[in-house]
């Protein structure tokens, strides 16, 4: 025989079923709220950690910028021409002495050199400095090269690998000291 009682009639006749259904329902609702709340907490924690990480990175960038400014300003005033290049030998930085002692006497300015390899000095000199840069990168050590800068004079370039603190090499730096040091330092420092 088929039971024809409706669900409402059954619930009215047996309050225990109503209580069990209410407990199950409230458990599901409670679990759902708890799940959503814990998920939101995890997302909030993730966002907070992300914000803290970004702030730490920004703080590190500010510190590095200060250090870079001090280093760059110190290098700018070296009395001898100096430069920094990337791994492909593109010049990315030169100091004031480079401008005064090499570029100006050659009738050039920074825009003729920065971002270039040195094409403005002619093909023969370019081939020489690129060969020297490759040797420094290959041997990963400081090497002194006699170099005659066209239109400027003879001197010695001390070239060195620019290393990261993890041991990788990111480029080549150098300083050129002319053989006639007194002439090069005229009006730059007091010689006794």
Kindly state the percentage of the chain with pLDDT values over 90.
Answer: 40
Sequence-ordered alpha helix ranges (H) in 77-122: 96-98
Q: Compute the chain's Rg from CA coordinates.
A: 36
* 16 or 162, greater pLDDT: 162
Locus of tokens 């270039």: 116
Where b means 16+ CB within 10 Å and e means fewer, 8-35 reads eeeeeeeeeeeeeeeeeeeeeeeeeeee
**pLDDT exceeds 90 at position 127:** yes
Torsion region of 186: left, alpha or beta (phi above 0 gives left; psi -120 to 50 gives alpha) = beta
Q: What angle do CA 39, 43, 41 make, to 5 degrees?
A: 55
83 near 96, Cβ under 8 Å? Answer: no
**pLDDT exceeds 70 at position 133:** yes
Mean pLDDT for 93-113 is 91
Dump strand ranges (E) for 89-140. Answer: 91-94
* Cβ within 8 Å of residue 192, ≥6 positions away: none
Residues 10-63 have pLDDT tens digits of: 656 666 666 666 656 566 666 666 666 666 666 667 667 776 787 887 888 888
The pLDDT value recorded for residue 20 is 60
Distance of alpha carbon 38 from its chain centroid, rounded? Answer: 37
Mean pLDDT for 159-178 is 89
Question: What letter does residue 80 receive in the DSSP assignment?
Answer: S
Domains of the chain by residue range: 1-76, 79-185
What class has domain 79-185? alpha beta
Q: From CA 112, how far away is CA 105, in angstroms rounded?
A: 13
């Amino acid at each position: 025989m088929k039971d024809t009682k409706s669900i409402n009639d059954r619930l009215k006749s047996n309050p225990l079923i109503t209580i069990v259904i209410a407990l199950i329902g409230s458990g599901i609702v409670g679990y759902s709220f708890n799940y959503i709340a814990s998920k939101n907490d995890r997302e909030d924690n993730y966002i907070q950690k992300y914000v803290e990480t970004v702030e730490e990175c920004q703080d590190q960038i500010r510190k590095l910028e200060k250090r870079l400014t001090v280093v760059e300003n110190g290098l700018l005033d070296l009395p001898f021409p100096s430069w920094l290049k990337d791994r492909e030998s593109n010049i990315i930085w030169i100091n004031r002495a480079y401008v005064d002692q090499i570029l100006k006497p050659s009738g050039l300015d920074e825009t003729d050199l920065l971002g270039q390899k040195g094409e403005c000095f002619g093909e023969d000199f370019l081939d020489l400095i690129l060969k020297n840069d490759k040797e420094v990168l290959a041997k990963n050590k400081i090497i002194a090269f006699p170099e005659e800068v066209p239109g400027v004079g003879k001197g010695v370039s001390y070239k060195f690998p620019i290393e990261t603190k993890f041991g990788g090499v990111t480029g080549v730096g150098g300083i050129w000291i002319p053989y006639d040091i007194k002439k090069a330092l005229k009006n730059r420092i007091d010689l006794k």
